[in-house]
A and B are shown apart, each in its own frame.
Chain A
């Protein structure tokens, strides 16, 4: 009974016609995507947008690495370099990682909880288009700013835009305004999207899908969206203050009028650190779905996993100032935020042990999703360890704003989050497009990208310890940084090649991939019950959920989970 209760028959080489596809023309297809309020199409739009921005911001990263490959390099101008790392960081966080989280949640949450759509479908479309236009606004700074004001260009104040660099005196022209306004616009989109997803989870679960039976991915999304709802407004508030300061002469961050530049850092990081968990928790969710299915074991310690996520959500509210150990806080402040930072690694460690315990003794299938998930797990361990190191204040005093920090957070954002996103692609692509991603291209992608990742970011730890500061335009030879930067830049090429294989695979497999069927992985959550791709209404009918693995119960009526839970 692998195909669930849906009645659409999947032929050998023929996919069921998708509603809306019969129009057939390109314009019809685009029109369909623009008019849609369907959570699956919006999910695809979110992810598609994120991929486009990923490539754009990735090209910026390549330019940064080209500039830093050799000492005294002059590939780009200093001003361009500043705008490159600013836009790279901002776009990767707000228009790649966050839309990926929202796209995954959009596509999967209603399917996983057995809902027909989101709670507010039109609000969902509104959220997406706000995020999209926010991104367009940021990129418009490249062409719009000089045309309108004769100066400016892209924002060049780094992604945390420290005061007083953003004041009118030091940031002439509208480039910084493009930064703050585009973040405000996208921020509204994120908050409305988060509210929508939360309401969907709490109010539209299918019969029997109690909170204690939610798939772990959905639990991680609950925590993520809670963090978005509570911690994105501080960023918006800070942007409003910045805009008031730049346009109406308010004095918030103006030290000459008694204002405090440090306050900006507090407001930014009280958003900024929970943001890390906003990005990481969906990745944890993907790992928590992929690892059990490919280890052929139910997740180890489900209640602990949920508790750990929620705990991470709460503790993340009290760690922001570990980004600010060097600004001169009181020793109580330093101690408090240092201890909180070490404390947050406890629930994170619980998660890692639970994943390992799930794999342990399992019948592991080394398919691509599992390979990416396992690598993400390994890399996240290292990222977590350097994180603990940086949480120790005296260590941080030494290495703050160095390449060690760069290496640390790229280990989190690329090593964990992007690898989990790749696992997401290889695992759920068959559900979305009805065809499997090609294995051969996939392994090429995996090896090129993994090798590239380690070549790029492992040496940066060493360069950082040797004293290389972040955001520097270039460096002189003879400081011992040349080799590490050169290896780093070579690695970037490998990563780019890996991404090319990945994108080729996405395009090629959509037409020529192996037909997947409803449930290619023999999985246990509800989305695998319906057709691939799912119909507009998602499910024809659903059984009453009686355990955490509803599909297991269907496939094994003699040995259902609910007898043991």
Chain B
């Protein structure tokens, strides 16, 4: 009688891809984490008791933003090449993306060295320092993880372990990378535009 019910309706049974659902949830939980740091930053704008203040030391992050936003475009081109089956094109654009990610990290290191040694702003200086380094640092740590994943994919691909049918796996890395990019939009708005002009 169970075989009867089994054959009763041979309709196709579709469910969402586990990878995609899992990545959406990872992005959701990460967004919640970032939200708290963003709220803390906004809440403490203008409440630092001692200098330096944001408008004195922050410069708009042109280089970092170009690198990061550009990499969101190049990763899409790379994906497109993988889907088409052009592995060499994928290598090229993926390597560019990876380089941009690493470049962003070096830009951050440079910015922080400047802030710490030239401007004397550390995490314990004032509320601005505390909230700035924890929010930007949290974002940078996500870029670090993203760059590691990009490097891993690049390495696996160069050693011939990634084929065009892996495009969904690779797409998940790119989703994460786009998320890191979106967070950067929020960080720019909150840190480099709102707080630096208030």
A: residues with CB less than 8 A from B are: 1, 4-5, 119-120, 191, 194-196, 198-199, 202-205, 207-208, 229-234, 236-238, 240-241, 244-245, 248-252, 257-260, 263, 267, 270, 541, 543-544, 546, 553-554, 557
The 8 Å CB contact of A119, one of B18, B26, B47, is: B18
B123 touches A554 (CB 8 A): no
Q: How far is the CA of A511 from the CA of B109 in the complex (A)?
A: 62
Top 10 closest A-B pairs, CB basis? Answer: A249-B124, A237-B36, A250-B130, A233-B33, A233-B32, A543-B5, A5-B2, A203-B18, A207-B13, A195-B25
Stretch at the interface among B37-45, B62-70, B100-108, B186-194: B37-45
A-chain residues with CB within 8 Å of residue B35 when the two chains form the complex: 233-234
The yes or no answer to B157 lying at the interface (CB within 8 A) is no
A203 touches B17 (CB 8 A): yes
Q: How far is the CA of A432 from the CA of B189 in the complex (A)?
A: 53
27 A–B pairs (Cβ distance < 8 Å), ordered by A: A5-B2, A119-B18, A119-B22, A198-B21, A198-B25, A199-B21, A199-B22, A202-B21, A203-B18, A203-B21, A204-B18, A208-B13, A234-B33, A244-B134, A250-B123, A250-B124, A251-B129, A252-B131, A257-B126, A258-B44, A258-B48, A258-B126, A258-B127, A259-B47, A263-B43, A541-B2, A554-B2
Q: How far is the CA of A265 from the CA of B10 in the complex (A)?
A: 55
0 or 1 for each of B9-36: is its CB under 8 Å from A? (1 = yes): 1000101111001100110111011011
B72 to chain A, nearest CB (A): 24
A553 to chain B, nearest CB (A): 8
B116-135 residues with Cβ-Cβ distance < 8 A to A are: 123-124, 126-127, 129-131, 133-134
A277 to chain B, nearest CB (A): 16
Take A204-B15, A251-B127 as given contacts and tell me if A544 and B25 are in contact as well, using a CB distance cutoff of 8 Å. Answer: no
B9 touches A231 (CB 8 A): no
B28 touches A230 (CB 8 A): yes
A-chain residues with CB within 8 Å of residue B133 when the two chains form the complex: 250
Beyond the given A248-B123, A252-B40, could you list 7 further A-B residue pairs with CB under 8 A, ordered by the A residue number?
A199-B21, A230-B28, A233-B33, A250-B124, A267-B40, A553-B5, A554-B5
A258 touches B29 (CB 8 A): no
The residue in B36, B44, B47, B131 that gathers the most chain A C-beta atoms within 10 A of its C-beta is B36
B-chain residues with CB within 8 Å of residue A244 when the two chains form the complex: 123, 130, 134
Take A208-B13, A234-B36, A241-B40 as given contacts and tell me if A1 and B1 are in contact as well, using a CB distance cutoff of 8 Å. Answer: yes
Q: Classify the secondary structure of A's interface with B.
A: helix
A543 touches B2 (CB 8 A): yes
0 or 1 for each of B161-176: is its CB under 8 Å from A? (1 = yes): 0000000000000000
B133 to chain A, nearest CB (A): 8
Take A191-B29, A244-B134 as given contacts and tell me if A251 and B126 are in contact as well, using a CB distance cutoff of 8 Å. Answer: yes
A-chain residues with CB within 8 Å of residue B130 when the two chains form the complex: 244-245, 250-252, 259
A120 touches B22 (CB 8 A): yes
B8 to chain A, nearest CB (A): 6
A326 to chain B, nearest CB (A): 21
Take A191-B29, A233-B29, A554-B2 as given contacts and tell me if A205 and B44 are in contact as well, using a CB distance cutoff of 8 Å. Answer: no
B127 touches A238 (CB 8 A): no
A-chain residues with CB within 8 Å of residue B21 when the two chains form the complex: 198-199, 202-203
A258 touches B22 (CB 8 A): no
Closest residue to A238 on the B side, CB-wise?
B36
Q: How far is the CA of A522 from the CA of B7 in the complex (A)?
A: 26
The 8 Å CB contact of B37, one of A1, A204, A237, A249, is: A237
The residue in B2, B18, B21 that gathers the most chain A C-beta atoms within 10 A of its C-beta is B2
Q: How far is the CA of A548 from the CA of B90 in the complex (A)?
A: 47
B-chain residues with CB within 8 Å of residue A202 when the two chains form the complex: 15-16, 21
Closest residue to B17 on the A side, CB-wise?
A203
Take A119-B22, A203-B16, A241-B134 as given contacts and tell me if A259 and B123 are in contact as well, using a CB distance cutoff of 8 Å. Answer: no
B13 to chain A, nearest CB (A): 4
Take A195-B29, A251-B130, A267-B36 as given contacts and tell me if A259 and B2 are in contact as well, using a CB distance cutoff of 8 Å. Answer: no
The 8 Å CB contact of B5, one of A251, A260, A544, is: A544
A107 to chain B, nearest CB (A): 20
The 8 Å CB contact of A229, one of B15, B29, B123, is: B29
Take A5-B2, A203-B15 as given contacts and tell me if A237 and B124 are in contact as well, using a CB distance cutoff of 8 Å. Answer: no
A-chain residues with CB within 8 Å of residue B129 when the two chains form the complex: 250-251
0 or 1 for each of B44-86: is its CB under 8 Å from A? (1 = yes): 1001110000000000000000000000000000000000000
Q: How far is the CA of A259 from the CA of B44 in the complex (A)?
A: 8
0 or 1 for each of B142-171: is its CB under 8 Å from A? (1 = yes): 000000000000000000000000000000
Q: How far is the CA of A545 from the CA of B17 in the complex (A)?
A: 21
A-chain residues with CB within 8 Å of residue B9 when the two chains form the complex: 208, 544, 546
Q: How far is the CA of A258 from the CA of B123 in the complex (A)?
A: 14
A188 to chain B, nearest CB (A): 10
A342 to chain B, nearest CB (A): 26
Q: How far is the CA of A225 from the CA of B192 in the complex (A)?
A: 35
The 8 Å CB contact of B127, one of A229, A259, A553, is: A259
A-chain residues with CB within 8 Å of residue B43 when the two chains form the complex: 260, 263
B18 touches A199 (CB 8 A): yes
The residue in B6, B29, B33, B134 that gathers the most chain A C-beta atoms within 10 A of its C-beta is B29
B-chain residues with CB within 8 Å of residue A250 when the two chains form the complex: 123-124, 129-130, 133-134
Q: How far is the CA of A257 from the CA of B13 in the complex (A)?
A: 59
A111 to chain B, nearest CB (A): 17
Closest residue to A195 on the B side, CB-wise?
B25
B-chain residues with CB within 8 Å of residue A5 when the two chains form the complex: 2
B-chain residues with CB within 8 Å of residue A233 when the two chains form the complex: 29-30, 32-33, 35-36
A-chain residues with CB within 8 Å of residue B36 when the two chains form the complex: 233-234, 237-238, 267, 270
Q: How far is the CA of A207 from the CA of B36 in the complex (A)?
A: 40
B32 touches A248 (CB 8 A): no
Q: How far is the CA of A247 from the CA of B150 in the complex (A)?
A: 32
A248 touches B124 (CB 8 A): yes
Closest residue to A249 on the B side, CB-wise?
B124
The residue in A196, A204, A544 that gathers the most chain B C-beta atoms within 10 A of its C-beta is A544
Q: How far is the CA of A481 from the CA of B25 in the complex (A)?
A: 49
